[in-house]
């Protein structure tokens, strides 16, 4: 009998605790429903600062609408994310609210691997070939290519190259830059890449007067190997400044001209 009483008492206590928790949860939920948004907090998932907190505020004010002073549970978090994710330098955003009344935005930005300068404007490309404009607030030290860039983008364009030929060329350039970055020596010693009207890429080294005619962006390893052979065998024999151009774009050939 005593055992049954203990069981009944335990069940009653447990039920009371469950009811108390439910009351507390309901009270907290009601309290949260009454809380309003007091501000925005931006957190960065990377080291870039292409997009500032003020940019985020401006984007939301223009494309989302009012959120300050609105109830936290009325803010459309998916709409906030959709509003931000279409901005050119933002790869992904995550929006959530906290009990301190803040709308929190966690940003992952696009990581540029190269900067193109085309006439009077420039743009970045990420590792997937996605093009996005230069940002007023922030620049990042990546390789620069200028000249007759064969990408038919307009100022402010964002997105993938428009034709398959442009996309293939972009992939070749990204592969070229990736090889330079991994080799380190070429990333440090090539200060500029210029595209001639005929499509040839010309490499301009940090030291010396030679200009290396690289041709297309494809076959980077073999072409850089030929550049290494020039520095190893030809330059010591002829001396610095003897040749003006060194053409390495042809397979198994190094064509030097004064």
What CATH number is associated with residue 222?
A: 3.40.50.11690
Q: How far apart (Å, rounded) are the C-alpha atoms in residues 151 and 161?
A: 7
Nearest to 118 by CA among 161, 180, 89: 161
> Up-side HSE of residue 191: CA atoms within 13 Å toward CB?
8
Please give the structure tokens belonging to residue 70. Answer: 């609105």
Domain match, 116 and 244 both: yes
Q: Does residue 6 form part of some domain?
A: no
For tokens 């490309």, name the residue: 125
Q: Does residue 243 form part of some domain?
A: yes
Domain span holding position 253: 112-257
Domain match, 77 and 201 both: no
Tell me the residue length of the chain: 258
Q: Does residue 24 form part of some domain?
A: no
Please give the structure tokens belonging to residue 215. Answer: 């041709």
Domain match, 150 and 244 both: yes
Domain match, 138 and 248 both: yes
Domain match, 148 and 239 both: yes
Domain match, 129 and 253 both: yes
Question: Tens-of-pLDDT digits for all 258 residues of the chain?
Answer: 456 555 654 555 465 565 555 555 544 555 556 799 999 999 999 888 888 899 999 999 999 999 999 899 999 999 999 999 998 889 999 999 999 899 999 999 999 999 999 888 899 999 999 999 888 777 888 999 999 999 988 888 889 998 999 999 999 999 999 999 998 889 889 999 999 999 999 999 998 889 999 999 999 999 999 999 999 999 999 888 889 999 999 998 999 998
Domain match, 127 and 44 both: no
Residue 14: which H helix or E strand, with range? helix 2-34
Q: Does residue 44 form part of some domain?
A: yes
Q: What is the pLDDT of residue 217?
A: 96
Q: What is the pLDDT of residue 250?
A: 94
Q: Does residue 154 form part of some domain?
A: yes
Domain match, 43 and 67 both: yes
Order of all β-strands in the sheet with 39-44: 39-44, 102-109, 90-98
Domain match, 76 and 191 both: no
Q: Helices then strands (H, E): number in the chain?
A: 7, 12
Q: Does residue 7 form part of some domain?
A: no
Q: What is the pLDDT of residue 26?
A: 46
Q: How far apart (Å, rounded) are the C-alpha atoms in residues 95 and 72?
A: 12
Q: What is the pLDDT of residue 27?
A: 46
Q: What is the pLDDT of residue 195?
A: 96
Domain boundary among 54, 82, 109: 109
Domain match, 78 and 140 both: no
What does the CA dihedral 230, 227, 216, 180 come to, rounded to 10 degrees? -170
Domain match, 102 and 131 both: no
Domain boundary among 86, 109, 132: 109
């Amino acid at each position: 009998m005593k055992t049954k009483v203990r069981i009944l008492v335990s069940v009653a206590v447990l039920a009371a605790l469950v009811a108390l928790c439910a009351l507390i949860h309901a009270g907290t939920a009601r309290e949260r429903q009454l809380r309003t948004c007091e501000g925005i907090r931006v957190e960065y998932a990377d080291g870039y600062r292409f997009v500032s907190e003020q940019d985020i505020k401006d984007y939301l004010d223009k494309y989302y609408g009012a959120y300050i002073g609105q109830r936290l549970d009325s803010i459309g978090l998916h709409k906030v994310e959709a509003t931000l994710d279409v901005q050119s330098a933002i790869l992904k955003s995550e929006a959530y609210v906290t009990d301190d009344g803040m709308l929190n935005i966690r940003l992952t930005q696009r990581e540029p691997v190269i900067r193109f300068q085309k006439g009077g404007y420039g743009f970045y490309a990420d590792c997937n070939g996605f093009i996005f404009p230069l940002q007023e607030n922030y620049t990042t030290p990546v390789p620069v290519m200028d000249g007759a860039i064969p990408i038919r983008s307009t100022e402010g364009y964002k997105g993938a190259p428009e034709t398959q030929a442009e996309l293939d060329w972009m992939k070749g350039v990204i592969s070229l830059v990736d090889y330079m970055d991994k080799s380190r020596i070429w990333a440090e010693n090539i200060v500029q890449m210029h595209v001639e009207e005929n499509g040839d890429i010309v490499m301009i080294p940090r030291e010396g007067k030679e200009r290396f005619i690289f041709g297309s962006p494809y076959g980077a390893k073999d072409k850089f190997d030929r550049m290494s052979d020039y520095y190893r065998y030809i330059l010591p024999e002829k001396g610095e400044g003897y040749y003006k151009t060194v053409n390495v774009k042809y397979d198994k050939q190094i064509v030097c001209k004064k």
